[in-house]
């Protein structure tokens, strides 16, 4: 348990978290590993856990309209995988697949949600860390939607 506590304390997501909160979080955490190609979760499944990556990379994927899957983001060491555990209906909206061997901390979302409900100070601490991740990914998605590297479709460009 001491090892898990240290890992959580040192992970970027929980860095500088008050030790009393770390103890509460540790109660919902366990070490996990995924081989390359294994799925951390699949679209439509219950979002009853999320992951803090310690090693390896994970691809977030969705089915493409033309068939096959499209990777829209990859995440690596120090990052968090899984956002849907925070809001009902707690269901994954995409697949998360290990690109290589992944070691992570798995957090039991049902357990953590209960603790956040019971202790709003802990809830506020976790949300303060969680919301910037959410915003960063939203901003990233906006830039991806802009297709900034696509051919400029202006009249000016047409002359060039």
Partner 1 sequence: MTPQLHMMPAVARVAGVRRETADTWTLELDPPSKQGEWAYRAGQFNMLYAFGVGEVPISISGSAPRQGTLLHTVRAVGAVSRALAQLKRGDSVGVRGPYGSAWPVEEAAGSDVVVVAGGLGFAPVRPVLRALLARRERYGKVVFLYGARRPEEILYRREIEGWRGRLDVEVEVTVDRAISAWRGHVGVVTTLVRRAGFDPQNAVAMLCGPEVMMRFTVAALRDAGVADERLYLSMERNMKCALGHCGHCQFGADFVCKDGPVFRYDRIRERLAVREV
Q: Which residues bind partner 1 (CB under 8 A)?
A: 59-61, 64, 68-74, 76, 97, 99, 136, 139-140, 143-144, 146-152, 156-160
Write down the least CB distance from residue 68 to partner 1, Å. Answer: 6
- The values of phi and psi at residue 64, to 5°, are -85, 150
Residue 96 Cβ vs partner 1, minimum distance, rounded to whole Å: 12
- Nearest approach in angstroms of CB 97 to partner 1 is 7
Minimum distance from residue 61 beta carbon to partner 1 (Å): 6
Structure tokens at 156: 């000016």
Choose between 60 and 105: whose C-beta lies nearer to partner 1. Answer: 60
- Select 16 or 147, whichever has its Cβ closest to partner 1: 147
For tokens 């901003």, the residue is 139
Residue with tokens 């994970």, as numbered in its chain: 58
Of residues 18 and 100, the one with the C-beta less far from partner 1:
100
Selection from 107, 127, 120 nearest residue 50 by Cα = 107
Q: Note whether 58 and 73 are within 8 A (CB).
A: no
Q: Are the C-beta atoms of residues 59 and 74 closer than 8 Å to each other?
A: yes
Give the Cα separation of 7 and 26 in Å (integer): 10
- Closest CB to partner 1 among residues 26, 59: 59
Residue ranges with strand state E in the chain: 29-34, 39-41, 49-55, 58-63, 69-75, 80-81, 95-98, 102-108
In the complex, minimum distance from the CB of residue 153 to partner 1, in angstroms, rounded to a whole number: 9
- CB nearer to partner 1: give 113 or 137: 137
């Amino acid at each position: 348990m001491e090892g898990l506590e240290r890992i959580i304390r040192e992970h970027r997501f929980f860095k500088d978290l008050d030790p009393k909160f770390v103890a509460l979080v540790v109660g919902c955490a366990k070490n996990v590993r995924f081989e390359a190609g294994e799925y951390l979760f699949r679209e439509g499944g219950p979002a009853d856990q999320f992951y803090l990556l310690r090693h390896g990379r994970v691809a977030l994927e969705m089915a493409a309209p033309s068939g096959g899957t499209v990777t829209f983001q990859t995440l690596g060491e120090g990052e968090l995988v899984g956002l849907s555990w925070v809001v009902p209906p707690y269901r994954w909206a995409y697949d998360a697949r290990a690109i290589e061997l992944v070691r992570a901390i798995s957090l039991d979302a049902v357990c953590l949600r209960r603790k956040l409900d019971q202790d709003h100070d802990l809830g506020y601490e976790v949300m303060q860390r969680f919301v910037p991740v959410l915003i960063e990914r939203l901003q990233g998605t906006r830039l991806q939607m802009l297709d900034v590297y696509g051919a400029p479709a202006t009249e000016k460009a047409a002359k060039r």
